[in-house]
Amino acid sequence: MSEQTMTNKKPNGIESGNPLLEVHNLKKYFEITAGIWRHMIGHVRAVDGVSFILRPGETLGIVGESGCGKSTTGRLIMRVLEPTDGQIIFDGQDITKLRGQALRAIRSKFQMIFQDPYASLNPKLTVGEIIAEPLVVNHIETLRSSQERVVHLLERVGLRADDRNSYPHEFSGGQRQRIGIARAIALNPQLIVADEAVSALDVSIQSQILNLMVDLKKEFKLSYIFISHNLAVIRHISDRVGVMYLGKLVELGPKSGLYREPLHPYTVALLSASPEPKRENRRQRIILQGDVPNPANPPQGCPFHTRCPKVMAICQKEAPLLKEVFPEHQVACHLYNFKAKSKKEGDE
Amino acid sequence: MAEALLNVRDLKTYFHKKDLEIRAVDGVDLTVFPRQIVCIVGESGSGKSITALSIMRLLPKPHGKIVGGEIEFEGNNLLKLTEGQMTDIRGNNISMIFQEPMTALNPVVTVGKQLTEVLLRHRKLSKHESEAKAVEMLKFVSVPRADEIIHEYVHQLSGGLRQRVMIAMAMLCEPKLLIADEPTTALDVTIQAQVLELMKKMRQDFNTAIILITHDLGVVAEMADHVLVMYAGQIVESVDADTLFHQPLHPYTMALLDSIPSLDDEKETLYSISGTVPNAATFPPGCRFAERCQRATRDCSENIIELNEIKPGHLVRCQKA
């Protein structure tokens, strides 16, 4: 895919050439057991066939409501969970089934920032020890030799050198998130998965952290997968956006295209439901009826058809596939069957 | 001109812990008219939730105390009522709904029992009549399978449904005033839209005024007739919603509006307010926002800044506005 088809913005750091990450038909089903013998009675289809690529220097936003599978997708990519099916290729290497020593060897290339700034830091370690931990665990530095790097990282995220001797509980939520970020960049990773990294923070702190993440991306040439339920935050930080519903990607496209002209009825409803402070910008409200179906028992056909204002007969029988409808803009919806080409994303 | 339903004057709620005096609410005025939706907006620690709990007299004991001010509801001074008299009012004339429906509702009692409890307490209805009314209200708030749900437990319901149950419970006695403390923060955006629509319906059909507490300016834009912006225990701006979004006057309000990413704006960097909220036990003598304010001069931190009506109907606590 050539650079020219990308956004018309000036240098955004996205490189052409081989993708950094390729995800093919990724699935994660969790077993549901019952009875004293814990026999399996079904599956929760948390991630149900997700495919996308990420280019070096790109920020992919994954947005969706609770239970859509976005966090699980993040964990699968981080290989914190093992996929039930599908393939993950990172920097040209198939990491889907890697374990043990082989997995540890490449783990330094991708790191994670978590949602809860209170649970994601070890309360028994000092801040300095927390940030040095990845370096020590990977035998890159000792605790003593890492101090200079730790100080540099602390200052880079807007904290002070002295803070390394304090404990997490002495800091505010926003400051703890900065510590988590310092820890995540300690190993100079290529990819950072940020799972609801600003959701637990007050609005004024959120903007500080988002600005920091944008700066760090440019400086350290990072790629991000930014997972959130907040559409405005996703819009601010992403280059491309994927919308998930009940374990599937229903739309995937460039940020401006997706927000200006959302294709999937769910994306349309999601955007219209987001409360918008600037009243002139408010969209026509679409209030979806009912609740999200149970992922252990998803509907036949299109997972969204039970709530879709544009549902057709075919939607109840056949699940639509993610297909490219405009350049770089894919959607999984029967409304676009006549327009869709059969190109899969990533094909040249 | 209608009489005010609720009149709060110079409310002060302090917490005392060891030697510290934490001034959670420090001189708040609030007026709500019948059928009006008033939003109190602020970030964590601004004192907005404590204001609501003070009105309901549900402060955590023993540390929290209302140390000054007046709260007048329909002409009655709530601060002079006994606990028994307050209990008559709660759930009846003034209801409250909370942020986390899982923890606010009783997990060991059926949904039906929690609803009928309200009716049995406040109305002279039989068990059968109150059950019928409970089902009716659940249907009114669009809870599906209402007659089955009354036999279910809270953990069997989704977040959106739980919030509807809480709203049903709050509305059973058709209160004149509903206080909603971050009612949609824990909900998904599409469910939030449903719940906000429902609250507007309550105002429409039951003539209920609403005090809606939130940190989300989008929700404020959606719902508010009038807005109060709180910072560090004080109201810093009070004006109708349209004016707040188009002509905010307080630097904190303006900074908040600038720091929110919008669905439509294209901004490279978000404005971010430097620094953090001051410690509620050690407020500076003057303006509490001064150390984070771009317009502040030295006298801002030294003078006591009052809430002044700078334009008709528009109050601001700032000498630089």
- If asked whether residues B86 and B217 sit together in one domain, one would say yes
Of A202, A275, A281, the CB nearest to B219: A275
Query: Alpha-carbon distance A261 to B286, whole Å?
Result: 49
Does B241 map to a domain? Answer: yes
Q: How much of chain B exceeds pLDDT 90, in percent?
A: 61
pLDDT of A22 higher than 80: yes
- If asked whether residues B149 and B285 sit together in one domain, one would say no
Q: How confident is the model at residue B266 (pLDDT cuts 50, 70, 90)?
A: low
Question: Are B263 and A274 in contact (CB < 8 Å)?
Answer: yes
Note down the domain range covering B134. Answer: 102-172
Strands (DSSP E) found in A37-174: 39-54, 59-63, 85-90, 93-94, 110-113
pLDDT of B243 higher than 90: yes
Q: Are A66 and A294 in contact (CB under 8 A)?
A: no
Predicted confidence (pLDDT) per residue in A97-106, tens digit: 888 888 988 8
- If asked whether residues B292 and B311 sit together in one domain, one would say yes
Q: How many CA atoms lie within 13 A of B68 on its CB side?
A: 10
pLDDT at A12: 59
Predicted confidence (pLDDT) per residue in A290-331, tens digit: 777 888 888 989 999 999 999 999 999 999 999 999 989 999
Q: Long-range pairs for A328-331 at CB < 8 Å and ≥24 separation? A: A328/A1, A328/A5, A328/A6, A328/A240, A328/A253, A328/A254, A328/A257, A329/A251, A329/A252, A329/A253, A329/A254, A329/A257, A329/A258, A329/A263, A330/A249, A330/A251, A330/A252, A330/A253, A331/A250, A331/A251, A331/A252, A331/A253, A331/A263, A331/A264
**Listed residues B172, B189, B219: the one ending a domain:** B172
Specify the 3-state DSSP secondary structure of B310: strand
Query: Alpha-carbon distance A83 to A47, whole Å?
Result: 9
Q: What is the pTM of this model?
A: 0.81
pLDDT at A4: 41
- If asked whether residues B184 and B265 sit together in one domain, one would say yes
Q: How confident is the model at residue A339 (pLDDT cuts 50, 70, 90)?
A: low
- If asked whether residues B38 and B144 sit together in one domain, one would say no
Predicted confidence (pLDDT) per residue in A122-141, tens digit: 999 999 999 999 999 888 88
**Listed residues B172, B189, B222: the one ending a domain:** B172
* Angle, vertex CA A80, rays to CA A224 and CA A68, nearest 5: 65
Query: Alpha-carbon distance B100 to B183, whole Å?
Result: 8
By C-alpha distance, the chain B residue nearest A209 is B272
Question: What mean pLDDT comes out for the span B186-199?
Answer: 86
| Any B CB within 8 A of A188 CB | no
Residues of A in contact with B266 (CB under 8 A): 256
Q: What is the largest CA-CA distance in chain A?
A: 66
**Which backbone phi and psi does A30 adopt, to 5 degrees?**
-100, 140
Could you tell me how many residues make up chain B? Answer: 321
What are the residues whose beta carbons fall under 8 Å from the beta carbon of A89, sequence distance 6 or more?
A21, A22, A23, A24, A95, A96
Closest CA to A206 of B45, B254, B46, B261: B261
Fill in the amino acid letter for A76: L
Question: Are A278 and B197 in contact (CB < 8 Å)?
Answer: no
Specify the 3-state DSSP secondary structure of B129: helix
pLDDT at A344: 45
More confident: A280 or A158: A158
| Any B CB within 8 A of A149 CB | no
- If asked whether residues B215 and B136 sit together in one domain, one would say no
Of B43, B196, B221, the CB nearest to A202: B43
- If asked whether residues B157 and B235 sit together in one domain, one would say no
Total domains present in chain B: 2
Question: What mean pLDDT comes out for the span B227-253?
Answer: 94
Does B321 map to a domain? Answer: no
pLDDT at A282: 63
Does B1 map to a domain? Answer: no
- If asked whether residues B160 and B178 sit together in one domain, one would say no
Q: How confident is the model at residue A7 (pLDDT cuts 50, 70, 90)?
A: very low
- If asked whether residues B217 and B304 sit together in one domain, one would say yes
pLDDT at A232: 87
Structure token digits, residue A107: 């783990």
Mean pLDDT of chain A: 87
Specify the 3-state DSSP secondary structure of B234: strand
**Listed residues B137, B152, B172: the one ending a domain:** B172
Q: How confident is the model at residue A280 (pLDDT cuts 50, 70, 90)?
A: low
Predicted confidence (pLDDT) per residue in B293-316, tens digit: 988 888 898 888 999 999 999 999
Mean pLDDT of chain B: 90
| Any B CB within 8 A of A285 CB | yes
CATH code at position B67:
3.40.50.300
Give the torsion sign (CA, A134, A135, A140, A143): negative
Of A210, A272, A273, the CB nearest to B270: A210
Closest CA to B177 of B52, B66, B79, B70: B52
Question: What mean pLDDT comes out for the span B202-222?
Answer: 92
Q: Is the backbone peptide bond immediately before B62 cis, with ω within 30 degrees of 0?
A: yes
Does the interface predicted TM-score (ipTM) exceed 0.85? Answer: no
Could you tell me which residues are beta bridge partners of residue B90? B94
Among A131-140, A280-289, B18-27, B166-175, name the one with the lowest average pLDDT.
Answer: A280-289
Residues of A in contact with B44 (CB under 8 A): 202
pLDDT at B251: 94
- If asked whether residues B228 and B111 sit together in one domain, one would say no
Predicted confidence (pLDDT) per residue in A190-205, tens digit: 999 999 898 878 888 8
Predicted confidence (pLDDT) per residue in A214-271, tens digit: 999 999 999 999 999 888 899 889 999 999 999 999 999 999 899 999 999 999 999 8
pLDDT at B82: 93
Does B127 map to a domain? Answer: yes
- If asked whether residues B168 and B182 sit together in one domain, one would say no
pLDDT of B3 higher than 50: yes
Question: Are A203 and B260 in contact (CB < 8 Å)?
Answer: yes
Domains of chain A: 3-109+189-336 (3.40.50.300), 110-188 (no CATH)
Closest CA to A80 of A88, A72, A91, A69: A72
Distance from CA of B192 to the nearest CA of A (A): 8
pLDDT of A343 higher than 50: no
Does B39 map to a domain? Answer: yes
- If asked whether residues B41 and B181 sit together in one domain, one would say yes
Does B108 map to a domain? Answer: yes
pLDDT at A14: 75
